[in-house]
Amino acid sequence: MATGRTHRPATRSRGIPEATVARLPLYLRALTGLSERSVPTVSSEELAAAAGVNSAKLRKDFSYLGSYGTRGVGYDVEYLVYQISRELGLTQDWPVVIVGIGNLGAALANYGGFASRGFRVAALIDADPAMAGKPVAGMPVQHTDDLEKIISENGVSIGVIATPAGAAQQVCDRLVAAGVTSILNFAPTVLSVPEGVDVRKVDLSIELQILAFHEQRKAGEEAAVAEAAAAAGAVVPPVRAAGNGRKGPDGDMPAVMPA
Amino acid sequence: MATGRTHRPATRSRGIPEATVARLPLYLRALTGLSERSVPTVSSEELAAAAGVNSAKLRKDFSYLGSYGTRGVGYDVEYLVYQISRELGLTQDWPVVIVGIGNLGAALANYGGFASRGFRVAALIDADPAMAGKPVAGMPVQHTDDLEKIISENGVSIGVIATPAGAAQQVCDRLVAAGVTSILNFAPTVLSVPEGVDVRKVDLSIELQILAFHEQRKAGEEAAVAEAAAAAGAVVPPVRAAGNGRKGPDGDMPAVMPA
DNA sequence: TCTTGTGAAGCTCTTCACAGCA
DNA sequence: TGCTGTGAAGAGCTTCACAAGA
């Protein structure tokens, strides 16, 4: 998973486990696809396959919402779409602001997946005066000075931070002070927020690093020695102050640094 | 969590739990920050705060890597940076291709966080002939026709998919056939891949939906009734074929549809 | 004295397997 | 008969609390 919870004691909100909540959007997407193809009902097995999970998990997940299926038949697609949408709070309109209109911010502004789920981009905000007024995704970029005004006038409770890491905490503080209580953070930094504010983070580089970890494994344990040798040339390993007995699994730091 | 594992039986790779692997990049980022400020050593408490986790978890995580700390003192920053980098496979160079150079693909191509972690964007690939040759992030976009050639010539094992949902599976199949074994998927679709191929997904809209779920809770249980009423106007709820006894927690579908 | 490293306990999530129901 | 809904078992992860050791 590309993201991680922050500042929420993994406790169940009204009995629904966090892990289940995180999968509801997946089910919803699969169901929307079925709905568009006018499929009336679907079994847990079929829906699970479409969502990429196993059917026991799906049934367990749905059991937290209520008994929305019919034994021997399956689930009514339209009915389930409605129930999950309602559970996720998508039956209402969520105005969202995006702060930091660089490459990523602009991409987010143009991303179609938001509008189709009840999220409305209410404003684009950037600190660069040169950006002010410039249209992005058919919408003029506004200056950070007006952040508080924009938040309150639009009743925004969800903010997206796509600024450089250095500006993120400051932007976060201003968003929170202005009344935002949920933040999606794309900046590669840990945000600290008061109790009651939710932060979710997406870090593109972290995802790649996790892939690299597994990729390294696949390369084979028997090739590990050769890899360690190559690695010594790729980065400059730091010298340990005192070379005392470490018990790492293998590959202690090379004692001699390559010039 | 912005992301999710796919196709990997949450089993430990060489004894390191998945949850720990997912946090190593976080620790690495915090350590890199300390390293740049020339901090020589750090305690589990301090590092945990910088990474946004608690110290017991951090110590447990590190214990899977080996005994890299000094009791009564803490951890040597440089040494730990090296060990975690090595564990994640970041001491080697990872050529990466990005397929689908739309807004998001271009943002990824320009993203600085990759290069600093051993990831090198080896090629940008797009299906649109009009894009071919156009420079993005100082690099000419290449056509999908050459995908297989690009993969093999550059020894690419990690691919990033930033295409529309409809094209993702096809691109995925070609990447896998050409030798890619790790995929980071930004397209809002479930990819099916053969055994041995890792897929991680980042879905921006899913993150917002999870935030909306919690946001809805904060609005207060007492306001739930008013919300349900508003919801009835916001979306057109489907009519149940047979209105038999459902036992959802509350808010069964409205029986009367608004015109 | 101070901080790491780690068994053990507790908690959450997943999977199993089958009773319950249409 | 077929598929849902769910207790129970199992696996994995987090947190506690303290022994070990610099």
Taking the C-alpha atoms of residue B162 and residue B165, their distance in angstroms, rounded to an integer, is 9
Structural domain contains residue B130: yes
Q: Is the dihedral of CA B41, A207, B210, A179 positive or negative?
A: positive
Asked whether residue A110 falls in the same domain as residue A200, the answer is: yes
pLDDT for the residue A15: 87
pLDDT for the residue A196: 95
Across the interface, of B92, B157, B184, the residue whose CB is closest to A227 is: B92
CATH number at residue B139: 3.40.50.720
| Total domain count, chain A | 2
Taking the C-alpha atoms of residue B15 and residue B162, their distance in angstroms, rounded to an integer, is 33
Amino acid residing at B238? P
Asked whether residue B137 falls in the same domain as residue B185, the answer is: yes
Q: Which nucleotides along chain C are within 7 A of a protein C-beta?
A: 1-7, 12-17, 20-22
pLDDT for the residue B63: 98
pLDDT for the residue A220: 66
Mean pLDDT, chain B, whole residue set: 86
Q: Which helix (H) or strand (E) holds A21?
A: helix A18-36
pLDDT for B107 beyond 60: yes
Q: How many CB atoms lie within 10 A of CB B254?
A: 16
A30-34, A53-57, A130-134, A227-231: the lowest-pLDDT one? A227-231
A105-114, A194-203, B27-36, B218-227: the lowest-pLDDT one? B218-227
pLDDT bin (cut points 50, 70, 90) of residue A80 is very high
Residues A182 and A158 sit within 8 Å (Cβ to Cβ) = yes
Domain boundary among B53, B87, B121: B87
A182-186, A242-246, B118-122, B173-177: the lowest-pLDDT one? A242-246
Asked whether residue A115 falls in the same domain as residue A199, the answer is: yes
pLDDT for the residue B5: 35
pLDDT for B243 beyond 70: no
Q: Average pLDDT, stretch B63-73?
A: 98
Amino acid residing at B152? S
Write the pLDDT tens digit of every residue in B158-217: 999 999 999 999 999 999 999 999 999 999 999 999 999 999 999 999 999 999 999 999
| Residue in this structure with the two tokens 């590959």, named with its chain if needed | A251
Compute the radius of gyration of chain B from its Cα atoms. 24
Asked if the C-beta of A94 comes within 8 angstroms of chain B's C-beta atoms, the answer is yes
pLDDT bin (cut points 50, 70, 90) of residue A111 is very high
Q: When comparing pLDDT for A75 and B222, which is higher?
A: A75
pLDDT for B2 beyond 80: no
DSSP B10-38: S--BTTB-HHHHHHHHHHHHHHHHHHHTT
pLDDT for A12 beyond 60: no
Segments forming the whole domain that contains residue A170: 94-205
pLDDT for B112 beyond 70: yes
pLDDT for the residue A8: 39
Structural domain contains residue B24: yes
pLDDT for the residue B240: 43
pLDDT for the residue A14: 59
- Label the pairing between strands B182-185 and B158-161: parallel
Asked whether residue A132 falls in the same domain as residue A60, the answer is: no
Task: Sort out which chain B residues have CB atoms less than 8 A from A215's CB and list them.
Answer: 89, 94, 157-158, 181-182, 198
> Is A124 annotated as a binding-site member?
no
Mean pLDDT, chain A, whole residue set: 86
The C1' atom of D7 and the CA atom of A69 lie apart, in whole Å, by 19
Residues B132 and B144 sit within 8 Å (Cβ to Cβ) = no
- Picking from A252, A233, A1, A208, the residue whose alpha carbon sits closest to that of residue B65 is A252
Asked whether residue B71 falls in the same domain as residue B131, the answer is: no
- Provide CB contacts within 8 A for B209, sequence distance 6+: A24, A25, A28, A88, A90, A117
A207-211, A232-236, B83-87: the lowest-pLDDT one? A232-236
Asked whether residue A52 falls in the same domain as residue A79, the answer is: yes
Asked whether residue B136 falls in the same domain as residue B184, the answer is: yes
Residue B123, exposed/middle/buried by CB under 10 A (0-12, 13-18, 19+)?
buried
Residues A163 and A187 sit within 8 Å (Cβ to Cβ) = yes
Half-sphere CA count of A107, side-chain side, radius 13 A: 24
| Paired strand residues for A136 | A139
Structural domain contains residue A154: yes
CB < 8 Å from A in window 129-148 of B: none
pLDDT for the residue A116: 84
